[in-house]
Amino acid sequence: MGLKRVVITGLGALTPIGNTKEEFHEALFKGVSGAGLITHFDASQHKTKFACELKQFDPANHFERKEARKLDPYCQYALVTADEAIRDSGLDLSQIDLDRVGVIVSSGIGGITTLEEELISFATGDGTPRFNPFFVPKMISDIASGQISIKYGFRGPNYGTVAACASSSVSIINAFDHIRLGRANIMVAGGAEAPLTPSAVGGFNSLHAISTRNDDPATASRPFDADRDGFVMAEGAGTLILEEYEHALKRGARIYCELIGGGLAADAYHLTAPDPEGKGAALVMRYGLEDAGILPESVDYINVHGTSTPLGDLSEPLGIISLFKEHAYKLSISSTKSMHGHLLGAAGALEAIATIFALTDNRIPPTINHFNLDPKIDDKLDFTFVKAKQRTVNVAISNTFGFGGHNASIVFKKI
């Protein structure tokens, strides 16, 4: 029996530049920056005082108060986007086999808000180990998948993947495999992250990984710019509904695009730095294209990892040139992190949605905050700086790389 075809039939997004997929779509092509001063906690003593926070998100609009107290913010975000994606897909849950619906929703950090609150409470108490009974299930990074399956009765494959910033891309690829191998008809896949806490921001500061451009937060995420100084942390979630093609056709589903390949590879180089020659980036994209059964010359657009870090932004273009050769100068590239920031473990899911919008719209989202291209980066590459642009997009790639050298590449095709 051959492999099943897999299509995308639903999307949900909760982002620093829009609280629904429609708002995200609109802001993405307008080139809106989601960065601003941190309001979640007093960041005055931190080296970095800004981030890409959600705007006007109120859990009370989505959860009963008692229910919300049992959910870490990252899990709330996952549930909100899963609900939007399921509604967007038009699925009638009473008419499908729930034994054949799975969930893989990932997080790089998980419930760090809950972890901080509980440990601070313990450390400032009288030494008696009193902890909230929901401490552990709120904190663990696989619980979003569990909560989604419980809410909707999905009894198929259910787990979370942890691969640092590549976590949700890995979840999408794993979900893709479950369907094409015939293990499920539908998979809810994506990622969620709520990392804007004192310890997380402080930890990334100590790594010198995030920008300290406190005088101008809105332009701090500037991928490929000569003056970039690190990524901008962000929160939010993205969820996709993956569905077996014939199953989608039978129920008359609206199909966004087809998922045709996924690649996973390692840099095997350094704990936090990418391979300086882009070997890992080239390898994971090659694996993705081989899995899809297409040539590099077929690709029209790459949503690059493009974090705005000094080393990362040098290596990925080298990997693209290494793999695509002369075609590298014919395809379009952009880093949407310049707008919504870096959602860590949820980055891959959100950027997969941005990549799908490029396919459906025949439009390339921009890389904003461009002032001076780093002279070490090939200026003949098309980074789609400043403004979105129209072009035919039949095949697109979404790249996501994580600490530890975890690399993931997803290939989408217009259907």
Virtual CA dihedral for 151, 152, 157, 162, nearest 10 degrees? -40
Quote the CA–CA distance of 338 and 370 in Å, as a whole number. Answer: 9
Question: Tokens for 3?
Answer: 């492999």
Domain regions of the chain by residue span:
7-250, 262-413
Residue 279 is predicted with a pLDDT of 96
Q: How long, in residues, is the chain? A: 415
Tell me which residues are annotated as active site.
165, 305, 342
Virtual CA dihedral for 333, 28, 50, 117, nearest 10 degrees? -110
Strand partners, 6: 244, 259
Quote the CA–CA distance of 186 and 10 in Å, as a whole number. Answer: 11
Quote the CA–CA distance of 411 and 143 in Å, as a whole number. Answer: 28
Quote the CA–CA distance of 372 and 84 in Å, as a whole number. Answer: 39
| Radius of gyration, CA atoms only, the chain | 20
For 77-125, how does the pLDDT look when each residue is reduced to its tens digit (9 = 90+)?
Answer: 999 999 999 999 999 999 999 999 999 999 999 999 999 999 999 999 8
CA distances to 20, 36, 105, 118, 343 from 77, rounded to whole Å, are 11, 20, 11, 20, 12
Residue 126 is predicted with a pLDDT of 84
| SS3 call for 273 | coil
| SS3 call for 15 | strand
What are phi and psi for residue 399, nearest 5 degrees?
-105, 140
pTM above 0.75, yes or no: yes
Residues 6+ apart with CB under 8 A from 324: 296, 297, 299, 331
Residue 288 is predicted with a pLDDT of 98
How, if at all, do strands 6-14 and 36-37 pair? unpaired
Residue 1 is predicted with a pLDDT of 65
Strand partners, 243: 7, 186
Same fold, 7-250 and 262-413: yes
Contact 166, 407 (CB under 8 A): yes
| C-alpha distance across the termini of the chain, in Å | 23
Contact 411, 180 (CB under 8 A): no
Angle at 6 between CA 76 and CA 140, to 5 degrees: 25
CA distances to 134, 153, 367, 387, 396 from 383, rounded to whole Å, are 46, 43, 7, 10, 14
Q: Which residues of the chain have pLDDT under 70?
A: 1
Contact 230, 209 (CB under 8 A): yes
Quote the CA–CA distance of 346 and 78 in Å, as a whole number. Answer: 10
408, 387, 195, 160: which is closest to 305 by C-alpha? 408
Contact 166, 406 (CB under 8 A): yes
CA distances to 75, 99, 168, 230, 303 from 313, rounded to whole Å, are 31, 43, 21, 10, 13
Name the class of domain 262-413: alpha beta
Name the CATH superfamily for 7-250.
Thiolase/Chalcone synthase (3.40.47.10)
Contact 341, 309 (CB under 8 A): no
**How many Cβ atoms from other residues are within 10 Å of residue 281's Cβ?**
28
CA distances to 17, 24, 72, 297, 393 from 293, rounded to whole Å, are 35, 31, 41, 12, 18
